[in-house]
Amino acid sequence: MIHYKSKTTNSNFSLYLSVLFFCLFFNSSFSQEIAENAIGLRLGDNDGFGAEISYQRAIFSNNRLEFNLGWRDKRDFDAIRSVGVYQWVFPIEGNFNWFVGPGVGVGLIDVDEDRIDRNDDEVFALIAGDIGIEYHFDFPLLISLDFRPEINFNNYDDDLNFDIALGFRYQF
């Protein structure tokens, strides 16, 4: 029985190793270069934070980090947050790419005690996923449309939010 378990473990390891090499080959053989840096605005819907300052930094030929700083000023509260997303970028055709990745974020919310029956200032955290499509022009402009589901962990808004945003970034 121990010998059988050992063979299964070895065959599972071989399978995992084969899948890993296939994924690495797939990523390297179909990737295209992405801009080293890009900065601009990410204009989201009302479930998100609205306007965000956005910065992207390439890590490898088809991976990048995206950092967003968002703020919101409403009648009942003021809030600020920062979100970081790791993205894999895949070419579609021509100058079109699609991207996907996980993210995390932190923020601060200040609830107005006059409008709502509590005065809460709290720090919150969130986890997110991101999927989208982008087009980079022959001049240094990148336009993107992405969908980012977010789960917030705080007392004010601790549910699932769907953020859809249009991004405009200068590439350098």
| Spans of the chain below 70 pLDDT | 1-32, 46-49, 113-119, 156-158
Quick one: pLDDT at residue 136? 94
Name the residue with tokens 């059988």: 4
> How far lies 122's CA from each of 105, 116, 151, in Å?
14, 15, 16
Quick one: pLDDT at residue 142? 97
Quick one: pLDDT at residue 119? 58
Q: Which CATH class is domain 31-171?
A: mainly beta
Plot region of 14 (φ>0 → left; ψ -120 to 50 → alpha; else → beta): alpha
Quick one: pLDDT at residue 33? 73
Quick one: pLDDT at residue 28? 45
Name the residue with tokens 């699932």: 160
Quick one: pLDDT at residue 154? 78
Quick one: pLDDT at residue 6? 46
pTM of the model: 0.75
